[in-house]
Amino acid sequence: MSYGLLKGKKGIIFGALDSNSIAWKVAEQCHAEGAEFILTNAPVALRMGQLNALAEKTNSDVIPADATSMEDLGKLFDAAAEKFGKIDFILHSIGMSVNVRKGKEYIDLNYDWLAKGWDISAVSFHRIMKTAWDRDIMNRGGSILALTYIAAQRTFPNYNDMADNKAYLESIARSFGYFWGKEKGVRVNTISQSPTPTTAGQGVQGFDGFITYAEKVSPLGNATAQDCANYCVAMFSDLTKMVTMQNLFHDGGYSNTGVSAEVIQKFEPTADNE
């Protein structure tokens, strides 16, 4: 379904890797709603070759940028300025922990890997906004979004140092969001999404068990990547102009549920459970 909510709007979408990626679905939905945008990802991700199919489908350019490189980001935003003049939205859909990838437990973190994952997953949001700020590329009323996870507020042991990265990411949204609002009339928010079966999601130890648990706890069930794309469109549209500096839970009610009847039932002392 599409409503033309983003007709005439231009943007940059970071982080579509393959068709499971949340950013992939966001790009498809933004296209359906009438937006034009540039797709970007780290050069190494582009070499995997799938992004070109999305670019073709959405009539977009692909410009590589490592989100930790100010030089790459500068070139990307210069290209966006040349193509569009000003833009209206940015999606940061980037996350990676070297410690998670290499199976290092939280109490035994490798600090060099920690620093790398923090830069990619959190500081890159500041780098992107700083690059956009210096070029004064955002139209007033524009919207900047990053994707996050509830492990920023509550402990999920297997989420490892990504929990700390997400807490930092959400803080950057508030801190930089103040200046964007005050001086440029632009919104900055994070969307805290349900567990979603993507490359990044499935990298977390015990993901399959956990996603089922979240499904059983959430009154509406887990929000899918497509649901998240729809929410991102709403946040990029003119319908949400006064929402800024918020962490917005998009999780079927998980974040406000203590326990569900299904979970209680699992632990009832019945013959089956003992």
Q: How many residues does the chain have?
A: 274
60 labelled as ligand-binding?
no
Among 38, 39, 114, 200, binds ligand NAD (CB under 6 A): 200
2 labelled as ligand-binding?
no
143 labelled as ligand-binding?
no
**Angle made by CA atoms 244, 248, 63, in degrees to the nearest 5:** 75
What are the tokens at 137? 């590329």
Residues between 102 and 141 with contacts to ligand NAD, criterion CB under 6 A: 120
Task: Kindly give, in sequence order, each residue whose CB lies less than 8 Å from that of residue 22, ignoring residues fewer than 6 positions away.
Answer: 15, 93, 147, 193, 196, 198, 225, 228, 229
Q: For 209, left (φ over 0), alpha (ψ -120 to 50), or beta?
A: alpha
In the complex, the smallest distance separating the C-beta of residue 75 from ligand NAD, rounded to whole angstroms, is 13
Among the listed residues 3, 159, 168, 213, the single catalytic one is 159
What are the tokens at 260? 């569900």
Q: Does 99 bind ligand NAD (CB under 6 A)?
A: no
Is 149 an annotated catalytic residue? yes
What are the tokens at 236? 């990029």
Site string for ligand NAD, 160-199 (x = CB under 6 A): ---------------------------------x-xx-xx
**Angle made by CA atoms 7, 247, 19, in degrees to the nearest 5:** 55
15 labelled as ligand-binding?
yes
Strands 138-148 and 36-40: unpaired
In the complex, the smallest distance separating the C-beta of residue 22 from ligand NAD, rounded to whole angstroms, is 4
Is 213 an annotated catalytic residue? no
Residues between 43 and 82 with contacts to ligand NAD, criterion CB under 6 A: 45, 66-68
Among the listed residues 3, 106, 149, 168, the single catalytic one is 149
166 labelled as ligand-binding?
yes
In the complex, the smallest distance separating the C-beta of residue 30 from ligand NAD, rounded to whole angstroms, is 15
What are the tokens at 123? 């500081």
Q: For 199, left (φ over 0), alpha (ψ -120 to 50), or beta?
A: alpha
Residues forming beta bridges with residue 110, ordered by sequence position: none
What are the binding residues for NAD(+)? 15, 21-22, 94, 166
Q: Which residues are catalytically annotated?
A: 149, 159
- Residues of this chain that interact with ligand NAD (CB under 6 A) are 14-15, 17, 21-23, 41-42, 45, 66-68, 93-96, 120, 147-149, 193, 195-196, 198-201
